[in-house]
Amino acid sequence: MNANEISTGPAVVMRHVSRTYGDPANPVHALRDVSVDIRRSEFTAVMGPSGSGKSTLMNVMAGLDEATSGQIWLGQTPIVGLDDTARTLLRRTNIGFVFQSFNLIPTLTADENIRLPFVLAGHKPDAVQQAWIAHLVGSLGLRDRLDHLPSQLSGGQQQRVAIVRALAGRPTIILADEPTGALDTRTSREVLTLLTTAAREYGQGIAMVTHDPVAASYADRILVLADGRIVGEYRGLDPHQISDLLINLQGAAA
Ligand SMILES: Nc1ncnc2c1ncn2[C@@H]1O[C@H](COP(=O)(O)OP(=O)(O)OP(=O)(O)O)[C@@H](O)[C@H]1O
């Protein structure tokens, strides 16, 4: 990759990535020869039956799990072969995580949770970052909630705090694992609209694992995994079409 490709290039590149678990005599092939680009400014949903490799894909992409073979670039950095410390540092600056369970620290206020990645990285947000956080907090309606502990916030507010925390450092990519799994329908829609906005208006790359066809329909692109392989890539499908796609896939596997 040359410098030009890097600056405009994908957030994550995976080439011929495999991940095998278990003993060699009885291996479990969680990922098989996966090659995929996750683009910047794009909201990608990752779908597939239970056990198809979605979590493994996200973990390997984040450097939380090691590929058995293949190459992975996060932004411009190859992550295969980096030691644990280097991976942790790379994750801190390049990845924002959003989880179903929000993963806020219960003893910290919303504001402290949002600033936690900066604290962990050992520096305070600079003026530009402060302004960016204030903008996110304001546009997500959290300004008068900053002093609240997570237990004093609704599920939707907690997830919005988690999303501000993920967006605050302008990471290369946000990895979201069922981010609306614990939310009601209306709040889910708000969170999904927010992720769509983050991709469209802020140029934020996002990869989201979901089983929910409605959630996936908010994404620009849907990657479908089956048995450790990417078996399809789709755009512009409505929830019914996504549902049919998954039902057919499960029928084919049965
Ligand atoms: N640490 C591990 N040790 C052994 N096998 C594993 C491990 N992690 C995952 N697997 C296996 O790898 C395969 C893919 O698992 P993975 O969790 O990535 O699937 P998934 O699509 O995320 O499933 P779900 O939708 O149920 O969360 C499964 O067969 C799983 O049992």
pLDDT at 2: 40
C-alpha–C-alpha distance, residues 53 and 122, integer Å:
34
137: helix, coil or strand?
helix
C-alpha–C-alpha distance, residues 165 and 47, integer Å:
25
Q: Within a domain: residue 18?
A: no
53 lines ligand 1 (CB under 6 A): yes
Q: Within a domain: residue 145?
A: yes
Q: Within a domain: residue 14?
A: no
What domain count does the chain have?
1
Q: Within a domain: residue 64?
A: no
Mean pLDDT of the chain, nearest integer:
92
Yes or no: say if 71 and 63 are a contact pair by the CB < 8 Å rule: no
pLDDT at 43: 96
Backbone angles phi, psi at 111, to 5 degrees: -60, -45
% of the chain exceeding 70 in pLDDT: 95
Q: Measured in angstroms, how far is the CA atom of residue 29 from the centroid of ligand 1?
A: 9
Q: Within a domain: residue 188?
A: yes
Q: Within a domain: residue 77?
A: no
CATH number at residue 210: 3.40.50.300
Instruction: Give the pLDDT band of residue 8 (cuts 50, 70, 90).
Output: low
* pLDDT tens-place string over residues 51-103: 999 999 999 999 999 999 999 999 999 999 899 999 999 998 899 999 998 99
Q: Within a domain: residue 65?
A: no
What mean pLDDT do residues 3-25 have?
80
pLDDT at 236: 95
Instruction: Give the pLDDT band of residue 254 (cuts 50, 70, 90).
Output: low
Yes or no: say if 110 and 145 are a contact pair by the CB < 8 Å rule: yes
Dihedral class, residue 98 (left if φ above 0, else alpha if ψ from -120 to 50, else beta): beta
Name the residue range of residue 55's domain: 41-59+83-253
- Entry pTM: 0.91
52 lines ligand 1 (CB under 6 A): yes
- CA-nearest residue for atom 4, ligand 1, is 21
Reported ipTM: 0.97
C-alpha–C-alpha distance, residues 236 and 242, integer Å:
10
51 lines ligand 1 (CB under 6 A): yes
202 lines ligand 1 (CB under 6 A): no
Q: Measured in angstroms, how far is the CA atom of residue 229 from the centroid of ligand 1?
A: 13
* pLDDT tens-place string over residues 19-65: 999 988 999 999 999 999 999 999 999 999 999 999 999 999 999 99
Q: Within a domain: residue 24?
A: no
How many residues are present in the chain?
A: 254
